């Protein structure tokens, strides 16, 4: 069950290289689906931002779409036809079918038998947000949940994330750390 340390080390090296490179160029992590879906937008963007399909594996989308009547405590049910269309879209564009950095790293750190419900439950997400402590999210009236990517990433809706540009409302950066 232990996470492959070689993968973790490789990822940390990649993160470090990414940070130095972006000082000059701002290299964004791009996750936006290459194919968009009207059904996905209509069914899934009324309560929160539209999450890119590449941020979770196909099995997570399958599980979520079969339980929409109890979706994190809300009822997000749609007609059977819309459900089938959105499920097919999400699986077609899921992490396994995306060769970009986010999807590859996220899958690489996921156990074979793991089916995350939250993007923020994944090991890769946790590694990237190591500097972001629970009180800065749960205890922060302008954030409240990691699900609100857009509270800290101004281009989250466009599927663009960058560590240099990321902010935490009510906190500021001091010597590489976040302070109140
Ligand atoms: C009726 C409101 C509602 C609708 C409609 C809805 N959701 Fe959600 N969704 C929620 C709530 C509430 C949460 C939990 C947010 C939290 O924990 O802060 C959530 C969380 C999520 C998460 C986890 C976010 C994270 O941080 O990883 C994903 C992924 C997600 N929804 C996908 C979908 C998809 C796909 C659809 C369309 C089929 C959809 N949602 C439609 C209310 C909704
Ligand atoms: C409370 C604010 C906050 C929320 C909410 C948040 N993030 Fe972040 N995120 C950050 C910060 C701050 C960093 C940079 C951390 C660092 O510099 O160590 C970061 C880094 C990242 C990176 C790495 C970017 C790079 O350049 O390598 C990605 C990708 C990312 N976040 C995605 C997400 C996604 C997807 C969500 C929503 C599911 C999310 N974040 C929610 C604050 C947040």
> Cα of 18 to ligand 2 centre, how many Å?
14
Pocket of ligand 2 (CB under 6 A): 18, 29, 55, 102, 119-120, 128-129, 131-132, 136-137, 143, 146-149, 151-153, 161-163, 166, 168
Q: Identify which of 163, 164, 165, 175 to mutate to test ligand 2's pocket (most ligand atoms within 8 A of the CB).
A: 163
Q: Which two tokens stand for residue 144?
A: 């409240």
Residue labelled with tokens 């979706």: 71
> Cα of 171 to ligand 2 centre, how many Å?
14
Residue extents of the structural domains in the chain? 29-118, 129-180
For 136, residues 6+ apart whose C-beta sits below 8 A from its C-beta are 143, 168, 171, 178
For 9, 162, 163, 165, the CA distances from 23, given in Å and listed in that order, are 22, 11, 10, 11
Q: What is the largest CA-CA distance in the chain?
A: 52
> Cα of 9 to ligand 1 centre, how many Å?
32
Give me the pLDDT at residue 24, please: 52
| Window from 7-16, 45-54, 66-75 with minimum mean pLDDT | 7-16
- For residue 22, pLDDT over 50 is answered with no
Backbone angles phi, psi at 177, to 5 degrees: -120, 165
- For residue 13, pLDDT over 60 is answered with no
Span 55-102, pLDDT tens digits: 999 999 999 999 999 999 999 999 999 999 999 999 999 999 999 999
Cβ of 167 less than 6 Å from ligand 1 = no
Give me the pLDDT at residue 84, please: 98
pLDDT band at 176 (very low <50, low <70, confident <90, very high): confident
Cβ of 103 less than 6 Å from ligand 1 = no
Span 144-164, pLDDT tens digits: 999 999 999 999 999 999 999
Span 95-137, pLDDT tens digits: 999 999 999 999 999 999 999 999 999 999 999 999 999 999 9
Cβ of 76 less than 6 Å from ligand 1 = yes
């Amino acid at each position: 069950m232990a996470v492959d340390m070689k993968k973790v080390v490789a990822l940390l090296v990649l993160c470090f290289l990414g940070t130095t490179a972006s000082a000059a160029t701002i290299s964004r992590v791009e996750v936006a689906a290459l194919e968009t879906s009207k059904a996905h937008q209509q069914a899934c963007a009324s309560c929160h931002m539209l999450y890119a399909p590449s941020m979770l594996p196909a099995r997570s989308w399958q599980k979520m779409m079969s339980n929409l009547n109890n979706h994190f405590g809300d009822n997000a049910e749609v007609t059977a036809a819309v459900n089938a269309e959105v499920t097919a879209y999400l699986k077609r564009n899921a992490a396994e079918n995306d060769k970009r950095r986010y999807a590859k790293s996220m899958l690489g750190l996921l156990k074979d038998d793991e089916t995350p419900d939250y993007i923020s439950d994944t090991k890769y997400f946790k590694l990237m947000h190591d500097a972001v402590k629970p009180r800065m999210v749960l205890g922060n009236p302008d954030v409240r949940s990691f699900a609100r990517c857009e509270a800290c990433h101004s281009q989250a809706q466009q599927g663009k994330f960058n560590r240099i540009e990321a902010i935490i409302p009510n906190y500021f950066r001091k010597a590489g750390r976040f302070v109140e």
